[in-house]
Amino acid sequence: MTIGTGDKAPEFDLEEAPGRPRVRLADFLGRANVLLVFHPFAFTEVCAEEALDLQENLDSFRNANTEIVFVSCDAAAARQAWKTELGAEYTFASDFWGHGAVAKSYDVFDEKTGAPVRGTFLIDLEGTVIWSLVKDDGTRRTELVPGSLGTLEPRD
């Protein structure tokens, strides 16, 4: 069952780059919200569009005390090369080993392609999913930025 709004977010433990600290949900709890964004593959058009959309809105996410973790099953070195190519300034993490384990825990891993579908989970300071969006691997998430940022806006 896909993780949804109101569910406790499964712990994640991902590699960002060799020799750097791992990216863990536990490290954000009590400190920052997390926008956990799964996508199928690095160096692809739709994934690049989404990555750049997140980058263009990075200040808005940071102003809302939210860190972005962009995840695929590509190897960490490939993820960092792509991050550099795109000029992104947020976390590109790898779910390469054990292959797709984190995507599977969020029920967004496609066994046929060996890659995640487009799963997005906004996790609050306590580790609860407060907004989620899941689309197939070929559909761009136009709601990615406005939906998640809208959830973070203060309510009157």
Q: Is the separation of the CB atoms in 122 and 146 below 8 Å?
A: no
The H-or-E segment that residue 51 falls in is helix 45-56
| DSSP string for 52-74 | HHHHHTHHHHHHTTEEEEEEESS
**Residue 47 falls in the annotated catalytic set:** yes
The CA-CA-CA angle for residues 15, 19, 20, to 5°, reads: 55
- Catalytically annotated residue among 47, 73, 76, 102: 47
Q: Is the separation of the CB atoms in 117 and 136 below 8 Å?
A: yes
The residue count of the chain comes to: 156
Which residues are annotated as catalytic?
A: 47
